[in-house]
Structure 1
């Protein structure tokens, strides 16, 4: 994955330098549209594959997003990044990964995802010999055991349920995809 991440970082910084060269001619809204279309789309493309990677691997992608926010808002490296991301309504990269996984799981549970993804998820069934507190949670998913400690836990059948089970029950019971996305972004926002 490191080769893929390095390529994304290199491509995004190339586009950021090109946008920076014309930034003074752009309005604020035009700059945001350019950055979203050229930078954030690269960061979001297939980012669910990056679930479970160490923070050192994700750090480079977060540097790209921070540079994009600073360029968009005309701030320097000395300015703190969290308020900038909050003002742009951009989630940090590791949270964007969790957001995408959660959305995919919601779609799978509501039959709007491809069949091969839906078939990889199973609802948690309680052992019959002992009652557990988790029995009150009807939307809890089973996290399968994996033979490979690193790659197996990063696969969708393991990573998706892990993120899903960490969400509050009232969020998981959202009536529609739009309501779920709005509540999820509110939950994840720093």
Structure 2
């Protein structure tokens, strides 16, 4: 029964991702009325509440370095969706017991922008694979036959949503096991 329930949950996530991807293809942008001033700390704290059971189960140390005064212009529901996707990927693709880091700061490269970062200490992603990560249905070759499930749509959807909010998303990783990956999300500062 437990395996059947897990299978149903995976199928529901896959269906939701396919529907999100289809809807995103139909929409070219998020309606401006949905863009609001969002507290980065508050939205990341909501994400932390959602992933806390898995963090506790995996016995992970989480570092949270997010100043209270940082605000971005974003659609709060869609930003939450993006942050949840990146966070759950960090949990899935890094070993139990390894740390996670959530941070945010004013962008050093772009004026009036904030960079939200989520870092793990997993296997990392090789530089040659990084340009494909945000493509529709893309999964790493090494993950195709692994027990880690995925549709290859989560990062694609995240990229489209972040771009629709006037931002960008990218990864930094050297592809060294234990070196992990850091996903960065840049959004306009509010």
TM range (shorter): under 0.3
Structure ranking higher in helix proportion? 1
| TM-score normalised by the chain length of structure 1 | 0.26
Structure ranking higher in strand proportion? 2
Larger Rg: 1
